[in-house]
Structure formats: structure tokens, C-alpha cells
Structure 1
Amino acid sequence: MDRRTVGIVMNGVTGRMGYRQHLVRSILAIREQGGLTLADGTVVWPEPVLVGRNAAKLEQLAELHGLTRYTTDLAAALADDSNEIYFDAQVTTARVAALRQAIAAGKHVYTEKPTAESLADAVALADEARAAGIKHGVVADKLYLPGLLKLRRLVESGFFGRILSVRVEFGYWVFEGDWQAAQRPSWNYRSEDGGGIILDMFPHWRYVLDHVIAPVRSVYAQMATHIPQRWDEQGDAYPATADDAAYAVLELEGGIVASVNSSWTTRVDRTELVTFHVDGTEGSAVAGLRNCRVQHRATTPKPVWNPDLPVSHDFRDQWSELPENDTYDNGFKRQWEEFLAYVVADAPYGHDLYAGARGVQLAELGLQSAREGRKLLVGDL
């Protein structure tokens, strides 16, 4: 059995997402299972090189997980021929320069989204990667969620008949940071540091809707900064300059209407932190992170509006839960395995930097729509 070691420069692993989802639950999890076994029997062994600005934090993480390779010198890590892949989970404002540096060094690149703050930069990155002949990918983790895998199966089976509409509800209350520590980094709420919920979440909604329901064709958005002052990790107050909530109406191919609410200033009264409610002529479904409930046309009850009488039943009891027919692994890990197979064995892979650019396109148009108060078409790149 052949074993192929692949060095991965992981930049930004001291951050929340880079550490928990990409290092611990993906790369280290692949190592714990003995590597990734490809179709031909080759075992891919990922060898992470931790990169960041704080040497002490990197040393601490390396020691905690039994790793030996870490550095604050990105150029040196990229100059090492044993490192084939560059991964980026930094703050958005630092991403473009680092990705360009990795592409110029001839490394395959895999990155968190958004790939850039502007569509022009996102497309330029994709063009540079294509010209360099390297393989490139962008994180599309929501597509690997059990709830959305179930929902996609319903769409592909024709369960809905003609799809009419989609309602996406996402969000939770992010503490301001004064009397209780915030559960998200403070840069998320400063536009000058690449923060804002539109730039963060609209790239997600783009690939989810494109791949699960139908391509996005137009956007009308309203954004708000509901909490104007927050407190950072040191307990210092700062002005929140980025949008912390966005309310959008998207038109999808085929006349499907999607209403998408994204907020870090809402208290949760849903079964999960995000829900996708799809209505069709033959049936409806509500999918979350893990679960998916359905109501078929033949089993749809006949509600009657009568505000003079109390509701005597629970509407949610009239839906049926889809069974757990599959085993679902961590979505970030699954996509890492697909990207590693793409790099080593040229396996099929569908989420490249051009897909990332389409996400940035929707975010950029959403911001423009909110500023100008008008509906904007989403054209093909």
C-alpha cells in the first residue's frame, strides 16, 4: 500500500474556524483515521504546517496536538517543496495577498470564503490560479450538512413538483462583549477589517441556492447595523461599522422567490440556527443543519383562519421527519477529503475559485442593492 505525504501550509489556524473546523475536525481527524485512502489504495497523509502571526500560540497548538511544524514566516513555508497545498483561514482583508503569494509559489490553494472583498479581486485570483496551472478550491461546507443533503435529495427526486419559494432564516444573538464575552471575533463588526454579515453569509447563500434549488438571478437587499457599539477581546469599546443584519429577496431561475434573513441580532425561536423552508406545488420541506421535515400535498391539513378561537393543535406535529438513512461525517472534513483526492488523484471537484467569485459577486451586489435601494440582476461571470 503506497503512502503519499502531502504538506499543507495552514494559515490562520489560531482563529476560531481555522482551528476547530479545519485543523482539529478535518486534517487531524483524517490523520486519526489513518489518512485518506484513495480508490487505487494510495493513502494520503496530510502533514500540516501551522502558520500565523503569534509564535507562542502556534507553539502551544503544535504541542497540544503533537505537531512539529509551525512558523510565522509564510514565505519560508511556501518555499518548502514538501508543502504542496496552501490553505487560508485568515481575516478577509489578508486573504488576497496571501493567496497570490501561494499561487506565485506554485502551490495548490484551498481557502475559506469570501475569497476576496471585491468581485474584481476574486475573479483575478481565479484567473491567476488557472494561468499558473495549479488546483484551487473554496470552502462550501453548508452543502455537506445532513439537513441540506436531505433537502437536495428531495429536490432531485421531484418531491416538490414545481418549486415556488424558499425562506432562509439564519442567525442568533451575538453578545456585545460588555457584560458577556462575544462568541464571534470583533473584526466581524468592523467594515474596515472586512467584517459584515453580507460579505460573510451571502457567499454561503449563493452556493447553497445555486446547487440545491436553482441559480440566483437577482437580488434586492436591506442591511442594518442594529448594534452600533461593541466591546472587543480586550474589553475595549469600539464603534461597530459593519452590517450585523441583512434582509434580502432573491429571484432564482424559473421564477422561484427566495427570502433570506441573516442576523447576528436575533434571538432564536427555531429548531436550529438556520432553516431552509421550501414550498412546492406537490409538497414542502423545512431543513436545518441536521434534520429535514416534510409535508406532502396528500397529507396537507386544511387550516382555517379564526382568531376568535385558540389553536388546539401544534402545526409542527403535522410534518414528518425524514429518516437518518445515511451516515454523515463532518462537512468540512468531507470537503477536505475531496480536495486532497483532487490534488493527488485528479478526482472530480466542483468548488473552485470561480465558484468563490460567484459568492463574492452576490455579496457585492447585495451591498450595492442595500446602498442604492434597488433590485440588481446577477449576471453570469
Structure 2
Amino acid sequence: MTRKTVRIAMNGVTGRMGHRQHLVRSLLAIREQGGLDLGDGTILWPEPVLVGRRAYALEAMAREHGLDPENISTDLDAVLADRSEKAVDIYFDAQVTSARVEALKKAIAAGKHIYTEKPTATDLAGALELARLARAAGIRHGVVQDKLFLPGLLKLKRLVDGGFFGRILSVRGEFGYWVFEGDWQEAQRPSWNYRSQDGGGIVVDMFPHWEYVMHELFGRVRSVQALAATHIPERWDERGKPYQATADDAAYGIFELEGGAIAQINSSWAVRVHRDELVEFQVDGTEGSAVAGLRTCRVQHRGVTPKPVWNPDLPATHAFRDQWQEVPDNETFDNGFKAQWELFLRHVYADAPYHWDLAAGARGVQLAELGLKSAAQGRRIEVPEIAL
């Protein structure tokens, strides 16, 4: 076996998602398993290079995880310009969205392969420019689309691919939880999420997720009609100071899908959870239905569908949830972020197929942009196919 070290610049890794999911549960987890076996006698060994604005935070993170203290930097330009044996091969971005485009452009210009969180840009024009620049540069590029790798959605895709549903009629999604305002309990999300001037808002955050989920499982989104709201107008930041929430914290969307199915997805940071998981999708088809969450998936086939009769004068005699059947795992599911990292690394170093690229990321930005436009204008808007 030959071990090949892959140096990866990780920008924004001091944030919650960058640290927990991408560093600890992905790259460090790959190292803990002995690296990534490409199947040709090569073992890839990821070597994170931590990039950020606060040197002390990077130093503390390197110490915590036993990383080389020399593999930290507050100077992205210097990291990208390095042509020594310590040059990075891949640039990963988990910064706030407003800082992402400039950094990705620099990495593309430096000839680095790109892997990035979403949304890839604050508007469609910026997202398309990145996709075109990456294509012209001939680099490999990928966008995090983690929800496709959740056990619940992998089971749901198995059902779709197996024809379980017959003709799919509708998709209903519920996502969200109560994010504390920050006054009497600390908020679970950073304050910039609630300021539109800083790139915040649940439409910008979640519609890119819903785009790839719908696109991959059910069909391309053909139209969107959305209503966005700011239910909590005042919140408290990380220093305990009040601020005005200028971004939407809830969005209610209806999407027409290619093939005729209708999807309705509610997203909210101002809702209390009364469901089994923080996100759930119900899919109804002519032959059967399913409800999928983060990890579980339950089904009800046409042949065993009960025949409810509406009678408000009598109490319900059946527990409707008990009439559904659990879909078995049938396989071992790895962390979704790690699984996609492994696919991207195989794409870069073993030429494995990979289609979750910057063009796919641009579709998500497009849907968010059109969703906000629909909410502002109060109308249904067609979603044209993207052409690079």
C-alpha cells in the first residue's frame, strides 16, 4: 500500500458545521479508519490545513485534535500561493455565504480543486460565474449536498428507484425547530443567520437543500410559489445585545415538479417540534406512501391502506401511526458528510463519477433567489433550466 497525503485548506472550520461535521466527523474520521482506500494500492491520507481569521481559535483546534501546529494560517492568499511540498491540493469553504465567492475565485485561480458548503453564492449570477470559472480552469469541484446521504432519505430513494410509489402525486416536507431568541436562553444558531445584510435567511439557507432533494429523488423543480416571513422581529446576538432580525425565519413553499408531482415544504426556525424528527417528508403515490426523516422511513402500501371514515362525533379507534411499516436498514449508513467527502476524494484522485458540482450548487441558489422573488411579488414563478 502507498499512502498519499492530501493537503486540504479548510476555511471557516471554526464554525459549528465546519468543525463538527467536516473536520471531526469527516476528515479526522477518515484518518481514524486508516485513510481512504482507493482500491488500487493507494491510501489517501487527508491533512487538514486550518484557515481562518482568529489565530488563537485555530491553534486551540489544532491542539484539541492533535494536528500539526504549523498547518494553520490566517492568510488565505499565502496558503493558495504556496508551491512548496506543503502546498494544498483542495480548498474547502465553510465560511459565511457573503465571504464565499471571493475565496472560491481565488482558489480556482490558484488551480485548486474545490469543495464547498452551500449556498455557493449570494445570487445566481455569482453561482454561475463560479461554475464557469471552475469548468474553464479544468479543476474538480463539488458542493456539499449532505441530506441526500441521510439514512432516511437513502431508504426513500431506494423506494423511488424500486417503483414502490407507482406514480408520485405529492411530497410534503416539514423542517424546523424553535431557535431561542437569545435573551433568556442562548440561541442555537449564529446571529448573522437573521440579518439579510449578512447573507442570512431561511430561504437562502434551506431552499438550496430542498432543490437537490427534490431534483435527485422526484424530479426537477419547474415552478415555485413561496411566502417568507420574519416571525421573530427582535433577537439577541452572541454578546447579549438586541438586534433587529431583517431576514426571514420561516418560509412556506409550493413547488411543481417535472412529471406533475407537487411538493409543499415548510421551513421554520420559529416552530416547536411535534414530529418524530427535525425534518420529515411524506411522499404519496398511487401504489403507496412513505414518511422519511433523518434516519427512519415508514411505508404504507396500497394493499394495506385502511379506509378511514370522517365522523367528528366519535373518537378515533385506530392509532394511524401504528398502521405503517418500518423500512429496514439493509446496510450500514455512514455519516452523510463523511460519505460525500469520500466520494469527492475518489472523484479527484481516482476519476470516480461525481455530479454534485458547482452547476448543481447554482440550481440551489437559483431556487432560493426565485423563492424570495415569489414571496416579494406574491406570485408563482417558473424555474428555467440552467445553462452554463
Task: Quote the offset at 1:80 in angstroms.
Answer: 2.3
Determine the structure 1 residue equivalent to 2:60. 60
Structure 1 position 311, deviation (Å): 1.1
- For 1:39 and 1:380, locate their aligned partners in 2 and report how far apart those are by CA, in whole Å: 37
Aligned twin of 1:33: 33
Q: Deviation digits for residues 228-257 of structure 1, max 9, x if unmatched?
A: 000011101010000000001000011100
Deviation at 1:134, TM superposition (A): 0.7
Structure 2: segments with no counterpart, 5+ residues: none
* 1:213 maps onto 2:218 in alignment: yes
Give deviations 1:276-308, integer Å, cap 9, x for gaps.
Answer: 100000000000000000000000001010000
Aligned equivalent of 2:8 = 8
Q: Is the 8 A contact 2:155 2:329 kept in 1?
A: no
Q: Secondary structure at the match of 1:278?
A: strand
Q: Which of 153, 156, 175 lines up with 1:148 in the alignment?
A: 153
Q: How does 1:67-146 map to 2 (within 5 A)?
A: 67-68=67-68, 69-81=71-83, 82-146=87-151
Which of 341, 344, 351 pairs up with 1:346? 351
**CA–CA distance in structure 2, aligned partners of residues 14 and 110 of structure 1:** 17
Are residues 1:267 and 2:267 paired?
A: no
Q: Over aligned residues, Cα RMSD in angstroms?
A: 0.6
In structure 1, the residue corresponding to 2:60 is in which secondary structure? Answer: helix
For the pair 1:254 / 2:289, whether they are aligned, the reply is no
Alignment deviations for residues 159-206 of structure 1 (CA, whole Å, 9 cap, x no partner): 001100000100000000000000011100000000000000000000
| In structure 2, distance between residues paired with 1:210 and 1:166 | 12
- 1:318 pairs with 2:323: yes
Question: SS of the counterpart of 1:83?
Answer: coil
What per-residue deviation string (whole Å, max 9, x for no partner) do you get for residues 119-140 of structure 1? 0000000000111111100000
CA distance in 1, matches of 2:82, 2:7: 9
Residue identity opposite 2:21 in structure 1: Q
Distance (Å, rounded) in 1 between the aligned partners of 2:143 and 2:204: 15
1:343 and 1:158 mapped to 2: Cα distance?
Answer: 33
Identity value in percent: 72
1:27-54 deviation per Cα after TM superposition (whole angstroms, max 9, x unaligned): 1000111100002121000000000101
Cα distance in structure 2, aligned partners of 1:214 and 1:243 = 27
Mapping for residues 363-374 of structure 1, pairs under 5 Å: 363-374=368-379
**Aligned position for 1:236:** 241
CA distance in 1, matches of 2:82, 2:30: 23
Superposed CA deviations along residues 99-127 of structure 1, whole A, max 9, x for unmatched, are 00100111001000000010000000000
Aligned pairs for 1:159-308 within 5 A:
159-308=164-313
Deviations along 1:326-377, one digit per CA (max 9) or x if unpaired, are: 1000000000001111111111111000000000000000000000001001
With normalisation by structure 2, the TM-score equals 0.98
Q: Distance in 2 between matches of 1:102 and 1:370?
A: 35
Amino acid across the alignment from 1:160: F
Amino acid at match of 1:192: Q
Separation (CA, whole Å) in 2 of partners of 1:48 and 1:239: 37
Residue number in structure 2 paired with 1:45: 45
Letter in 2 for 1:143: L
1:21-79 deviation digits (Å, cap 9, x = unpaired): 00000010001111000021210000000001011000000000011211101111112
2-structure distance, mates of 1:345, 1:83: 18
Classify the secondary structure of the residue corresponding to 2:213: helix
Shift of 1:215: 1.1
What secondary structure, in the 3-state scheme, does the structure 2 residue paired with 1:351 have? Answer: coil
**How far, CA to CA, are the matches of 1:129 and 1:70 in structure 2?**
26
- Normalising by structure 1, we get a TM-score of 0.99
Q: C-alpha separation between the residues in 2 aligned to 1:318 and 1:41?
A: 50
Give the SS at the match of 1:14: coil
Please say if residues 89 and 113 of structure 2, whose CA atoms lie closer than 8 Å, have aligned partners that are also in contact. Answer: yes
Partner-residue secondary structure (3-state), 1:117: coil
| Partner AA of 1:156 in structure 2 | D
Residues in 2 aligned to 1:22 and 1:79: alpha-carbon distance in whole angstroms: 24
- What is the rounded CA distance, in whole Å, between the counterparts of 2:292 and 2:121 in structure 1? 29
